[in-house]
Amino acid sequence: MATVDVGEQSYKHKLEQAEVYLITSGHGRMHIDDEEQDVKSGDAIYIKPERIQWIENNGQESLCFIALVNPPWSEEGDLRVS
């Protein structure tokens, strides 16, 4: 389970693998390459491999999500970008 506090965002990165975010609570904005999408509890977001991504919490409570990565996440496959 990952948590993004109010007014914060995750780091910008891209993965070698596909990923799905399952939003379990809160509201935010998902960024995938040049696209943005509002997200809320109950949403599922599919992220293709090699896409620059990050999520920001623009709500009034903690934004919590489960990240499913296939094949499994590895530090070597998680490239942070600026």
| CATH number (domain holding residue 52) | 2.60.120.10
Mind listing the pLDDT tens digit for each residue in 7-66?
Answer: 999 999 999 999 999 999 999 999 999 999 999 999 999 999 999 999 999 999 999 999
Residue 50: C-alpha distances to residues 4, 12, 26, 28, 58 (Å): 22, 12, 26, 22, 25
CA atoms lying within 13 Å on the CB side of residue 71: 5
Q: What is the pLDDT averaged over residues 63-77? A: 93
User: Per the structure, how many domains does the chain have?
Assistant: 1
Q: Give the chain's radius of gyration (CA, Å).
A: 12
pTM over 0.75: yes
Domain that holds residue 72: 2-80
Cβ(17)–Cβ(52) under 8 Å? no
Residue 5 confidence (pLDDT): 99
pLDDT value, residue 82 = 86
